[in-house]
Amino acid sequence: MYQGLRQLSRRTIASSARRQVENTVKEKQKLFQEDNGMPIHLKGGSKDAVLYRATMALTVFGTGYVVYSLLSASMPKKP
Amino acid sequence: MAHQAHAYHMVDPSPWPLTGAVGALLLTSGLAVWFHFHSTILLSLGLILLLLTMYQWWRDIIREGTFQGHHTPPVQKGLRFGMILFITSEVFFFLGFFWAFYHSSLAPTPELGGCWPPTGITTLDPFEVPLLNTAVLLASGVTVTWAHHSIMEGEREQAIHSLTLTILLGFYFTFLQAMEYYEAPFTIADGVYGSTFFVATGFHGLHVIIGSTFLAVCLLRQVQYHFTSGHHFGFEAAAWYWHFVDVVWLFLYISIYWWGS
């Protein structure tokens, strides 16, 4: 979250130990408005793709596992 | 790139409704599997999937609104309606538990001793920690309103301070309530008194945690300059939710803690 130390401006009433957060909204606006055809959930870059793939992998595995789990739970067990 | 000739938001295709639905499926069947077969793997998988879905879905909404400018006035109007309708549905959710409480407490059965509180139940003193909890939440309602005015007036530092204070008060409530739960002389298994008490206050506590999380996300966004003095609907939604949580507590306090003691 904190982008790095910055020089404190004399006019802000910030404690001397406080680090200022940079305003990066303009850069983010430029990134997400770039005309590259990417959908919003992947437009942020490679981190998006990694998180998406991990989520989808869990979704697919989970779907399979729940079908297996419910099918086996509904079968009578041999004594 | 084709430009839209209208002010509405045609959303990009998104995988999150699917992952969220599968997550909910895993959560519910996982609960059943845990109850019957003592295995928590499905449940954990469902929880992780739901958390991942929520994080990415709401991240995308922030991108669409703050970074792409899709939240025009008509779109914001729709978001406002959506939040109001959601909170209304939550009101009905809690209404059910209040119905259960009043059903049991207005006409206590012979099994309970024909009285309320039932025979053998030592209730919590409403003028001790529960009263403190009431003060804490009321104070947090004041601080969240202070935060709203600070945002509208462009007072960045004050907004950050008052929002932080609101969240800390929320944490304090949760901490106090957790202590009360631990020290309570009755449990959820103590008849209908225990059931109505812990289910109603328990769901309320969960909503305090959800509301605190929502406010914390707003604090992070405020620090990162997402909110402007004229456009900060995410914060307003969080504040509405927080006031709702506060009002539910007031009803809980008066009905269950005070009248019911």
Q: What is the mean pLDDT of residues A18-45?
A: 92
The whole-model pTM stands at 0.90
What distance in Å separates the CA atoms of residue B19 and residue B14, rounded to the nearest whole number? 10
Structural contact between residues B194 and B187, judged by C-beta atoms closer than 8 angstroms: yes
At B4, the pLDDT band (50, 70, 90 cuts) reads confident
Q: What is the CA radius of gyration of chain A?
A: 24
Average pLDDT over chain B, rounded to an integer? 96
Judged by a CB distance cut-off of 8 A, whether residue B206 touches chain A is no
Closest CB to B56 among A14, A55, A66: A55
Domain ranges in chain B?
1-70, 72-258
In chain A, residues with a C-beta closer than 8 Å to the C-beta of B221 are none
Distance between CA atoms of B167 and B180, rounded to whole angstroms?
20
CB atoms within 10 A of CB A53: 10
Residue B166 CA to residue A2 CA, distance in Å, equals 22
Smallest Cα–Cα separation from B31: which of B22, B23, B20, B42? Answer: B42
Query: Are residues A59 and B18, on separate chains, in Cβ contact within 8 Å?
Result: yes
B118-161 pLDDT, tens digit each: 999 999 999 999 999 999 999 999 999 999 999 999 999 999 99
Question: Tell me, what's the pLDDT at A20?
Answer: 82
- Does the distance separating the beta carbons of B49 and A59 come in below 8 Å? yes
B49: nearest Cα among A39, A28, A55: A55
Identify which of B29, B42, B67 has the shortest CB distance to residue A32: B67
Integer Cα distance of B208 and A12 in angstroms: 34
- Is domain B72-258 classified as CATH 1.20.120.80? yes
CB B97 within 8 A of CB B203: yes
Q: Hey, are the CB atoms on B68 and A59 less than 8 Å from each other?
A: no
Q: Is B68 on the interface with A (CB under 8 A)?
A: yes
| Shortest alpha-carbon distance between residue A59 and chain B (Å) | 6
What DSSP designation does B61 have?
H
B67–A28 CB contact, under 8 Å: yes
Q: Which residues of A touch B41 (CB under 8 A)?
A: 65
Neighbouring residues of B125: CB distance < 8 A, sequence distance ≥ 6: B261
Chains A, B: CB pairs < 8 Å: 100
Structure-token match 């812990």, residue found: B198
- What tokens were used for B36? 């019957």
Tokens of residue B58, six digits:
């709401």
DSSP string, A4-68: ---PPPTTS---TTPPPPP--HHHHHHHHT--S---TTTTT-HHHHHHHHHHHHHHHHHHHHHHH
Reply yes or no on whether the pLDDT at A13 is more than 80. no
Predicted pLDDT of residue B3: 75
Q: Residue B2's pLDDT is what? A: 62
ipTM of model: 0.86
**pLDDT tens per residue, range B185-196:** 999 999 999 999
CATH number assigned to the domain with residue range B1-70, chosen from the 4 options 1.10.287.70, 1.10.10.10, 3.20.20.80, 3.40.640.10:
1.10.287.70
Answer whether B56 touches A (CB < 8 Å). Answer: yes
Q: Is any Cβ of chain A less than 8 angstroms from the Cβ of B14?
A: yes
Residue B117 in contact with residue B244, Cβ under 8 Å?
Answer: no
State CA B52 to chain mean position distance: 19
- Indicate the length of chain B as a whole number: 261
If we measure between CA atoms, which residue out of B48, B40, B20 comes closest to residue A69? B40
**A45 at interface of B, judged by CB pairs closer than 8 A:** no
Cβ-defined contact of A41 to B19 (cutoff 8 Å): no
Residue A77 confidence class, pLDDT cut points 50, 70, 90 = confident
CB contact under 8 A, A54 and B23: no
